Amino acid sequence: MPFSGLPAPRLPAAALVAVLLAVAIGGCVPAEQRPSGWVYPLPRHQPDDGLAVVNRPGGEGLHIWIETDTSQPGLCRPRWIPDPARLRGGNGPHPSSFGLAPREEFFQAQERGPVRLALRRQAEGLCRRRAPRSVFVWEPPPRSAADYRPPVLPLLEEPELLSTPRAIRRAEKKLLGLPLTPDDLEEPLEAHPGGL
């Protein structure tokens, strides 16, 4: 190769020192103290309903819970819960979760493409299991507190929450094989809402 007469480009001394210092500092941190960045399925109750994100040193991170929304007939979409559990032992053979991690950490995890892709795969798989005849509709997870809209659930009234004591007694007697009495079959008169 012919010599061009120009000197080879060189890094300024300050830039070279900065690069060497960064390599030295980064190389001094033991592997167990660095986050591995792993993202993998970690079921809670059934396949596809949880995702592990190792984003802290020592195998700690997030256990993101995935839920489905089938409130519209024929459609299944993810219902996001931005309150993940804290992951422990995420780099090892027996990961577990406990307590709650901060929401801000959930939103920060959404900045990573592999996390969003894995969440989409898990949500789609969960919809196929829970609502196989429904069409999967992808809705990306919220990336900030301002983006999160909690689901609007129907309000339950007191009569929907509590059974009457006679209904409970009837059910107990049926389970035990005991005969029902006329008292068990009578329902008390409903009291007026105003107490009159």
What tokens appear for 162 in the block? 């509590």
pLDDT in tens, 53-100: 999 888 899 999 999 999 999 999 999 999 999 999 988 899 999 999
Q: Which bin fits 98, alpha (ψ -120 to 50), beta or left (φ > 0)?
A: beta
Q: Which two tokens stand for residue 53?
A: 């994100």
Q: Write out pLDDT tens, residues 6-25.
A: 555 565 666 666 666 666 66
Q: Which residue has the higher pLDDT, 188 or 192?
A: 188
Q: Per the confidence metrics, is the pTM higher than 0.75?
A: no
Per residue in 121-131, pLDDT (tens digit) is 999 999 999 99
Tokens describing residue 71: 């409130």
Residues counted in the chain? 196
* Better-predicted residue by pLDDT, 154 or 195: 154
Q: Which ranges constitute the DSSP H helices of 5-148?
A: 13-27, 103-109, 113-130
